[in-house]
Amino acid sequence: MYIQKRSLRFILVFSFLFIGLSYFTFKLLLIQFFRSEHLTALAAKQQNYSVPIEPVRGTIYDRKLRALAVNVTVYSIYANPRRMKTAEKDNAARQLAEILKISPNEMREKLNRDKFFVWLMRKVSLELVEKIKHEKIKGIGFVRDSKRYYPNQSLASHVIGFAGMDNKGLEGIELKFDKYLRGEPGYSQILRDARQRELLLEKNFLPPKDGFNLVLTIDETIQYITERALDKAFAKSRAIAATVIVMDPKTGEILAMANRPTYDLTNVDAFPPENRINRAHALIYEPGSIFKIVAASAGIEEGIFKEDDKIFCENGSYRVGGHILHDHHGHGWLTFSEVIEQSSNIGTTKIAQKMGADTFYKYEKKFHFGDKTGIDLIGEVDGQVKKPSQWSKTSIGNIPIGQEITATTIQLLGALSAIANDGVYMKPYIVKYVKDNNDELIEGTEPKVVSRVISVDTARRVQQILKGVVDRGTAKRAQIEGISVAGKTGTAQKVVNGRYSQSSFFASFMGFAPVENPRLSVIVMFDDPKPDHFGGTVAAPVFRDIVVDSLKYLDSQDIKS
Whether 84 is in a domain gets the answer yes
The confidence score (pLDDT) of residue 358 equals: 97
305 pLDDT above the threshold of 70: yes
What span, in angstroms and rounded, lies between the C-alpha atoms of 220 and 228?
12
**Cα separation, 461 vs 469, whole angstroms:** 13
SS3 assignment, position 60: strand
Q: Are the beta carbons of 490 and 506 closer than 8 angstroms? A: yes
pLDDT at residue 47 in the model: 54
Among the residue ranges 115-124, 353-362, 505-514, the one predicted with the least confidence is 115-124
- Which one is predicted more confidently, 482 or 90? 482
* Structure confidence at residue 89 as a pLDDT band (50, 70, 90): confident
* Residue 79 to residue 137: CA distance in whole angstroms: 10
Indicate whether 400 belongs to any domain.
yes
pLDDT at 421 over 80: yes
Span 105-157, pLDDT tens digits: 888 888 888 777 788 888 887 788 888 888 788 778 887 777 899 999 999 99
Spatial distance between the Cα atoms of 120 and 111, rounded to a whole number of angstroms: 8
Question: In this structure, is residue 197 part of a structural domain?
Answer: no
The answer to whether residue 549 scores a pLDDT higher than 50 is yes
Nearest to 244, CA basis, from 522, 505, 535: 522
Give the best-scoring range by mean pLDDT among 88-92, 95-99, 127-131, 512-516: 512-516
* 89-100 b/e (C-beta count within 10 Å ≥ 16 → b): beebbebbbebb
What stretch of H or E contains 452?
strand 449-452
Confidence of residue 199 (pLDDT cuts 50, 70, 90): very low
Q: Is residue 475 part of a domain?
A: yes
How far is Cα of residue 333 from the mean position of the Cα atoms in its chain? 47
- Judgement on whether residues 117 and 246 belong to the same structural domain of the protein: no
Average pLDDT value for residue range 441-463: 96
The per-residue DSSP string of 78-108 comes to: EE-GGGS-HHHHHHHHHHHHHHHTS-HHHHH
**Could you tell me if 282 and 135 lie in one domain?**
no
Confidence of residue 44 (pLDDT cuts 50, 70, 90): low
172 burial (CB, 10 Å; 0-12 / 13-18 / 19+) is buried
Q: Please give the pLDDT value at position 454.
A: 98
pLDDT tens digits, residue range 312-354? 999 999 999 888 999 988 999 999 999 999 999 999 999 999 9
Do 130 and 268 lie in one domain? The reply is no
256, 226 Cβ separation under 8 angstroms:
yes
Residues 92 and 227 in one domain: no
The per-residue pLDDT for 98 is 83
How far is the C-alpha of 254 from the C-alpha of 248, rounded, in Å? Answer: 7
Collapsing DSSP to helix, strand or coil, 434 comes out as strand
246 and 136 fall within a common domain = no
Q: Are 260 and 525 in contact (CB under 8 A)?
A: no
Same-domain status, 274 and 137: no
More confident residue, 14 or 522: 522
197 vs 519, more confident: 519
Question: Which CATH number belongs to the domain containing residue 135 in this structure?
Answer: 3.90.1310.10
**pLDDT tens, 265-285?**
999 999 999 999 999 999 999
The DSSP code sequence of 220-252 is HHHHHHHHHHHHHHHHHHT-SEEEEEEE-TTT-
Which pLDDT value is given to residue 260?
A: 97
Q: Which residues pair with 216 in a beta bridge?
A: 431
Instruction: State residue 63's pLDDT score.
Output: 96
My answer on whether 266 and 383 are in the same domain is yes
Q: What percent of the chain has pLDDT over 90?
A: 65
Contact 146, 54 (CB under 8 A): yes
Out of 149, 171, 206, a domain closes at 149
| Band (195; pLDDT cuts 50, 70, 90) | low
pLDDT of residue 77: 86
Task: Give the pLDDT confidence score for residue 202 in this predicted structure.
Answer: 46
* 430 and 547 assigned to the same domain: yes
Indicate the number of domains in the chain. 2
Please tell me whether residues 121 and 235 are part of one structural domain.
no
The rounded distance, in Å, linking the Cα atoms of 24 and 91 is 44
**Separation of first and last alpha carbons in the chain:** 120
User: Which residues are identified as catalytic?
Assistant: 289
Strand, helix or coil for residue 334: strand
Range of the domain at 121: 72-100+113-149
Claim to verify: residue 282 and residue 417 sit in the same structural domain: yes
Amino acid at 64: K
Final residue in a domain of this structure, among 89, 124, 149: 149
Phi, psi of 524 (to 5 degrees): -125, 125
CA dihedral 311, 314, 319, 321 (to 10 degrees): 0
Q: What is the CATH number of the domain that holds 251?
A: 3.40.710.10
Shared domain for 117 and 241, answered yes or no, is: no
Confidence of residue 447 (pLDDT cuts 50, 70, 90): very high
Task: Count how many residues are written for the chain.
Answer: 561
Position 320 in a domain: yes
